[in-house]
Each structure stands twice: as structure tokens, then as C-alpha cells.
Structure 1
Amino acid sequence: MSELRVLGVDACKGGWVAIELHDAAFAAAHIAPTLEVLLAGHEGLAAVGLDMPLGLADAGWRQADIAAAAALGAARSTVFRVPPRPVWLEEEYESAVRRCRAVTGQGFSRQAWALRRKLLEADAYRGRHGIHEVHPEVSFRGIGAGRPLAPKKTWQGQMQRRDLLRKAGIEVPAELGPAGRAGPDDVLDAAAAAWSAHRIATGRAISYPDPPEESPAGDAIAIWC
């Protein structure tokens, strides 16, 4: 019987970092400058969990972000609302904010705009390679049954997340090879994304919203956990 192989992917400085699970246990860590390079040579994956918006609304805010934020409660600020597609086609933040106000009545943050290049890179992969959108904080909430966590960039927060992964059977080693260049929070987020990818592959994942929202182009828009 072949192994069930999945990948969890998170954006990091210089590209993308990924944690690979075989039968729900840590198998390898990877880092690459682009998703194309990262996914090359990974044929046969049962699912890929990607921490980046996949599927953009033509107008208005995505229900996925609203539902996921509601589920996180006090940690809702870790989910940013993703503006509709026309906003991301602007070249500058100022013009993007104007477009966002025109189509939604509200602006959006520079922090969200900083993800533009990788968001558009990821958007090209929607519906391909078994890739599903995930959100690590939603995943960690699922692993920890709603347990409140300290911010992910703090020592306490990182130790809490590593402990949750360990209890879920995902032991992330200290030595990750080149992938160890990624920030610790990005590695932990990739591992949580892999946990969700395994749930997707085994048919146990839930979606926010449930059922997923459908874009005018027919794309399913949801955050999976």
C-alpha cells in the first residue's frame, strides 16, 4: 500500500517553505524561490495546503475570510480580508486602495498589499495540483480544539504551536537543511498547512464557509482545515 503524501506550503522571505508529510508524519522540508520550482518533482501528492488566498471575488469581500475570522474569535485579526480581483490588478497601493473603496466601500492594509506578488503567483495555481487554500491559525485552532495561543512570533507562541504539532504526530526536527533558512513561524505554519492537507486528502477537512463560496468563474472559494 503506497504512502499518503501531502505538502503544506507557506510564504517566507525569498520564496516558499514546505513541510512534507507521509502518512501524517514528518518526511521532509523544502524551500524554493517559486511555487513552480517547489512543486516540480512532487508528482503523486494527495493534496497541497497553501497558506495564500486562492480564488478571488469579482466584487465585495470573500466569505471565506469572514467565516474564518469568526471561527478564530479573539485571534480574528490574523485573517485579513482579501479584496476582489480588480484591486490586485492595480500596480500601486494608492490606486489599489481607491479601486477597493470604489468596489467595496472600504480600503485595505499595506500588510495585505505586501502579499500581492505571491498572491498573484498562487492564484495561477488554483484548481491545479490538488492545491487548497488553508490558514495556519485556523489549522492550529483545529489541532488544539480551540485552545488560545500566544502570537506566533513570540517564543511562547512558537513553543505552543510546536507542542500542538507534536501531539498531532508531526515532529518537526531542528535540522531542516536549506529549509532551515526560513523563519521559525513560517516553518510551523507550513507544518500546520500540511496537517490540513492530510485532512483534505482523507476527506476529514471542513471548509470556511460551508459549503464553499462560488466565484462567477465557477471557482470554489474556501479556507480548509
Structure 2
Amino acid sequence: MKEYIGIDDCRGGWVAAVLGDRLELIFSETLEEMRDLVASSTLTLIDMPMGLKSEGDGERVCDVEARKFLKRRKMSIFPVPCRQAVYSENYREANKVNREILGKGLSKQSYNLFPKIREVDNFITKDSEILENIIEGHPEISFARLRGEEMKHNKRSIEGFQERMEVIEKFFPGADSTVEIFMEKYKRSVVARDDILDAIILAIAASSHREGYLTVPEIPSVDSHGIPMRIFIPRIGR
């Protein structure tokens, strides 16, 4: 059976949406716990940087190119730090190193994601064959492309939750009940409702690859560990 997976980080760890004959939601404290799930998937999309620059001024090309697919929500694609900064011991050192290598400092918000970025990096470098199954994706781009236009409301608002759920229901009717049951099982301090929807839309986007997709850039560069720096872009509508 073909399974398409979307993975998003959350406060307690990671949430995965698995699309097969049905929709299944899975919570794991570590990404490593999902290795077998990813390895057996037809395609997995994850909302976290895959591939880190080690030299050269400026951002990853994939981030710059991906922002062109958004207008109101293009800032949801944040500048990805360099590898040396991600593995620095503290914020001050990371900020200094990133400024020296990429020519730009770091926000505290970006720094707070470092543990998850390292987790993804270690997940890939532990066994690079996993790259055959997983690609970096982006929820806001996926929502916009599959809906045909960008979301109007912030994803953490009630209105934002409802409009995103409408898109999901279009492609997977009955998903709302699965989300509701899952939300009753976990506290929002562990898994927020927008994390769940982000994982689901990534799984839906992954399943759309059968009908055509692209990655930006078309021919990606690879980082010092051989990881392609690219972002999955689903086709418009379905």
C-alpha cells in the first residue's frame, strides 16, 4: 500500500500525518522513532530545513525561490542558518558565526529551532539512503497551491484553523473527526492544532506528486554532507 507522509515539528516532538487508505496521525518525541515509517513511505515531506550552507554569502537558493510562491505569507519561510551556526554552543556564538559566513545575524526565533534542525540533520546523515524517501516541504506553500490561493488568516487563529481545515476536507473528507480525536489525546502544550494541520497538508501535497510537482531550485546544490537543498512545490489545485 502506498503511504504519503507529512511531518511537522511540535513542542513535544514531532507529529506525522500518514495518508494511505485512511488518515492516521502519529506523535513521536523524536524523529528517529519515525525512521521506519519514513523509509517505507512512497514520499515524505517535512517542514524543517534539509541541507545547510557552510560557505558563501546569503541564503539557500531554495528559500529565496520558494518565497516567490507566496505574497502575504512569504515571511513564513525563514532564513536558514549555516551549518557552523546550527552546531554552535550558544546564541551569541551562533549569531557571530552566521554573520561571518552568511553575512546575516540570527533572530532568537530562528535560534530556538536549532535543536530540531540538528535532529533532522542527524536523521539524514545517519543513513543518507533515507533521502530517497523524504524531501523538505512547506505547509503555507502547500495550502496555497492546493487551494489555488493563499490563506487569508493566521494559522493559529480560529478563522485560520477553519479555512485550512476546509482545504484538507476537500482532499480528504472526514479528516476533521480524525483531528478532533487526536487533539483530545494530546495537550496543546505537546501538539498544537496548527501543527496537526501542517502535517496533514504536507501529506496531501506528497500524494499529489503523482499528478506533477516541481522542486526549487530545479537542479539543487548539495551541502557539505551531500544533502540536496531543495523544497517541494505541489501543482496548483487538484
Q: TM-score, normalised by structure 1?
A: 0.89
| 1:216 positional shift | 4.7
Greater shift in the superposed pair: 55-64 or 34-43: 34-43
Identity of aligned residues (%): 27
- 1:36 corresponds to: 32
2:62 aligns with one of 37, 47, 64: 64
1:8-28, Cα deviation, whole Å (9 max, x unpaired): 1110111001111015xx421
How far apart are 1:166 and its partner, in Å?
1.0
Gaps of 5+ in 1: none
Aligned to 2:195: 186
Give TM-score scaled by structure 2 length.
0.84
The yes-or-no answer on 1:152 pairing with 2:155 is yes
Q: Indicate which of 215, 222, 227 corresponds to 1:207.
A: 215
Q: Match for 2:114 among 99, 113, 116?
A: 116
**Is it true that 1:45 corresponds to 2:60 in the alignment?**
no
Q: CA RMSD in A?
A: 2.0
Residue 147 of structure 1, CA deviation = 3.1
CA deviation map 1:98-146 (0-9, x unaligned): 1111112211211111111111111123344311111111111111112
- Runs of 4 or more off by more than 6 Å in structure 1? none
Aligned residue-pair number: 220
One-letter code of the match for 1:69? R
Shift of 1:220: 1.5
Q: Does 1:133 align with 2:133?
A: no
Q: Comparing both structures, which one devotes a greater share of its residues to helix? A: 2
Offset at residue 196 of structure 1 (A): 2.2
The equivalent residue for 1:99 is: 97
Q: Is 1:19–1:187's contact at 8 Å kept on the other side of the alignment?
A: yes
Q: Which residue of 1 aligns with 2:172?
A: 169
Choose 28-37 or 41-50, whichever is displaced more: 41-50
Worse overlay, 36-45 or 111-120: 36-45
Match of 1:222 among 211, 218, 230: 230
Task: Decide whether the 8 Å contact of 1:143 with 1:168 is kept in 2.
Answer: no
Instruction: Tell me whether 27-36 or 128-137 shows the greater mean CA deviation.
Output: 128-137
- The 3-state SS of whatever aligns with 1:149 is coil
Gaps of 5+ in 2: 234-238
Using the alignment, how far apart are the partners of 1:21 and 1:101 within structure 2?
41
